[in-house]
Amino acid sequence: MRVTRSSTDSGSTVRLADIARVAGVSSATVSYALTGANGVSAPTRQRILRIARRLGYVANRHAAALRSRRSLLLGVLVTDIKNPFFAEIVSGIESAASANQYRVMLCVTRDGSVDEARHLQMLLEHNVDGLIIVPVACDPEGTYRNVRLLKAFQRRQIPIQCIVDGIRGLRTGRILTDVYKGTRLVVEHLIGLGHRHIAYFSQPFVKVRKGGRHAGYYDALQAFGVPARPELMIEAGLTPRDAYERTRWFVRRKIFFTAAVYPNDYMAVGGLRALRESGLNVPRDVSVTGFDDVEWARYCEVPLTTVRFPARELGERCVMELMRYIHADQDPDRSMCDIVLPPTLVVRESTAPPPGAAQS
């Protein structure tokens, strides 16, 4: 391992032996202290680190990677970094990666298979040690357009960790959110308040997996004997603008409804604005729910009832699973597995009994 002086010094290279001479310890002790390895007392480690900061040197991670035959890089594909739920997941990924001395190569695919293929090829060329996909962009049957490139990762024994969904025909690790149960929670909450006319603003129908959100919506209605009305299932896109425009369109159709369910908080904000501009009060005229419980859901003009998933934990757990697989020599029997994080209903001011409901 080599370290170099900062730009404020002479620019000469400093070796571990130089650090050891100043600290009065062996080069091996310096190496252990700088890498956080066992075998060095806390006072000695702190003294070595203080000397390191005073001399102004930087660890040569490239040399360390060459020695370990690893790139110390994790590739991350994310469809939309503007979505605060995905942004929080990426924040958790970056934090956990940094704690493990890894760097993150972030690729924003904008949900396009051609752009995604270009990014995947680039990550292969950089020989990343692991790949994370946030979320997996599959059709409802689990078909993934760039599966050929993912198989190239697997041939190189590069582990793949998927968030939200998996990929049919590939052995990957998965960190899943139970969207079926989460959807049932919000719909059953609305039914419990007395709502029987619940509009569901869906993500594009071609992206909704069987047994997921739609099943949760219909099963909740059926469990409470509420008739399903097909006209209350509205395809609304993926963004706040999509939700805003489709909500305005839906209100203009004058279809009776007393509650609106959105597939994420990001879209619920667009829906809230459209309802307000249409002269409807939330929650007096229409109750509104979101999904994910991003940080600002509680700070909306009307604090949002939603379903909480621990987004940052999703990212952190994903990295920890990759680390265990990458270091499989320490646990040779370990295989990649599924982890399902349960949802929690968070009730705020955006939901209330429907107009005219008897108050207890």
Domains and CATH numbers, the chain: 2-66 (1.10.260.40), 70-176+311-342 (3.40.50.2300), 179-309 (3.40.50.2300)
Dihedral sign for Cα 32, 38, 43, 44, please: negative
Instruction: Check residue 59 and give its pLDDT.
Output: 62
Instruction: Check residue 167 and give its pLDDT.
Output: 75
Dihedral sign for Cα 306, 312, 317, 318, please: positive
Helix pair angle (27-35, 16-23), 10° resolution: 100
Contact 322, 316 (CB under 8 A): no
Which residues have C-beta within 8 Å of that of residue 113, sequence separation ≥ 6? 137, 145, 146
Instruction: Check residue 241 and give its pLDDT.
Output: 94
How far apart, in whole angstroms, are the C-alpha atoms of residue 96 and residue 103?
A: 10
Full-prediction pTM beyond 0.85? no
Instruction: Check residue 61 and give its pLDDT.
Output: 53
Instruction: Check residue 336 and give its pLDDT.
Output: 65
Instruction: Check residue 134 and give its pLDDT.
Output: 84
Instruction: Check residue 13 and give its pLDDT.
Output: 65
| Residues 187-234: tens digit of each pLDDT | 999 999 999 999 999 987 766 666 688 999 999 999 999 999 999 999
| Residues 124-150: tens digit of each pLDDT | 988 899 999 987 665 555 567 788 888
The separation between the first and the last C-alpha atoms of the chain, rounded to the nearest angstrom, is 71
Q: What is the DSSP letter of 126?
A: T
How far apart, in whole angstroms, are the C-alpha atoms of residue 179 and residue 212?
A: 6
Instruction: Check residue 63 and give its pLDDT.
Output: 52
Residue ranges in the chain modelled with pLDDT below 50: 1-11, 65-68, 330-333, 359-360
